[in-house]
Homo-oligomer: A and B are copies of this chain.
Amino acid sequence: MQLLDGNLTAKTIKSEIAAMVLDLLAKNGKRPHLAAVLVGENGASMTYVGAKVRACEEVGFASTLIQKSADCTESDLLKIVYGLNDDESIDGYIIQLPLPSHINEKKILEAVDPRKDVDGFHPENIGRMALNLPCFLPATPAGIMTLLERYHIETTGKHCVVLGRSHIVGMPMTLLMQRNAQPGNCTVTVLHSKSKDISNHCRQADIIIAAIGQPGFVKADMVKEGAVVIDVGITRVPDFNKKSGFRLSGDVAFEEVAPKCAFITPVPGGVGPMTIVSLLSNTFLAAENKLMSKS
C-alpha cells in the first residue's frame, strides 16, 4: 500500500508555480493576481479564504480579499462581481461559498466572467470540461486528476466508481474519468443517494472516488484487493481525546481499507491540499491568458 501524499505533492507543485511566477515576472513584469470575495463571518469560510490568500503569497501571486458583512445585498454583490469582471488587474477570482441565504448563489456564480472563473463553477467551464475543451477545471476534481497523474496511476480501461454526484466533486469526476484523456478513459459508474447495491458496485471497482461526506462509509468489504481509493470526504467528528474536541474523518474507514489498497489518500493530507494548488494553477493559467481568448 502506498499513500497518495497530497501535502508533499502540493508542496512540489507550489514550488513549480513559484518558479513559473518568477519566469512570468522576468518576461513581462506580470504577477498573477487572485481576488477572493467573502460575505459574512462563517468560521470555516474565513479559514478557507485565509488559507487561499496565504497560498497565493507563498507562490508569489498578488491577492486581494474583499470582505463584506452578512447583510450585503445581492445587487451589491453583483456590482462587486461586475467590477471584478472589468478590472484588468485581476486575473481570476473566487466567491467563497456558502453565501448568506438571502443571496441567490446560482445567479452570482453565473455572473462571473468564465475567463476569470478560477473555481471552475460557471456553466460554461463545466460544459467545456464535458466537451474536453480548454477550461478551468473545478479545484477538487482537478487536484485529484493531478494526484493520479503525479503518481503515474494507470487509469485507461480501469473501472472507476464515483460515490456522490455533487456539482463540485462527483459530477465533474464522472466526466473527467470517462473522457478520452490521460488520466481518464475509465469505465465509470456513478453512485448516489438513490443507488442500490452500493457495496456490490464498489467491490467491482479498480478505482474508488468517495465524495459523499459520510464518515467511514467505505468499509474494507466494499473494496477489491489492489484498488486505488481516493477519499474526498472531510467531516468533523466529535473526539474528546483531541484538544479541539473533534477530528477530521474521510468517507473511507482508513484503518481497515488501507491494507487492501494499492494506493490510498489519507484524510487530512490527501485531496485537501491539492484543492488549493488547483486554484493556484488555474489562476496562473488565467494570468497567462492562454485558456480562453479575452474578447
Contacts and interface: CB of A to CB of B under 8 A. Distances in A.
A106 B128 contact: no
Interface string A109-134: 00000000000001111111111110
Contacts of A191: 187
Contact of A190 (B122, B128, B187): B187
A45 interface: no
A154 to B, nearest CB: 12
Interface stretch (A62-70, A170-178, A251-259): A170-178
A150 to B, nearest CB: 22
Contacts of A123: 124, 127-128, 130-131, 133, 135
Contacts of A133: 106, 123
A127 B128 CA distance: 7
A174 B167 CA distance: 14
A194 B130 contact: no
13 contacts: A123-B128, A124-B124, A124-B127, A126-B126, A127-B127, A131-B167, A157-B195, A171-B178, A171-B179, A175-B175, A185-B194, A187-B195, A189-B189
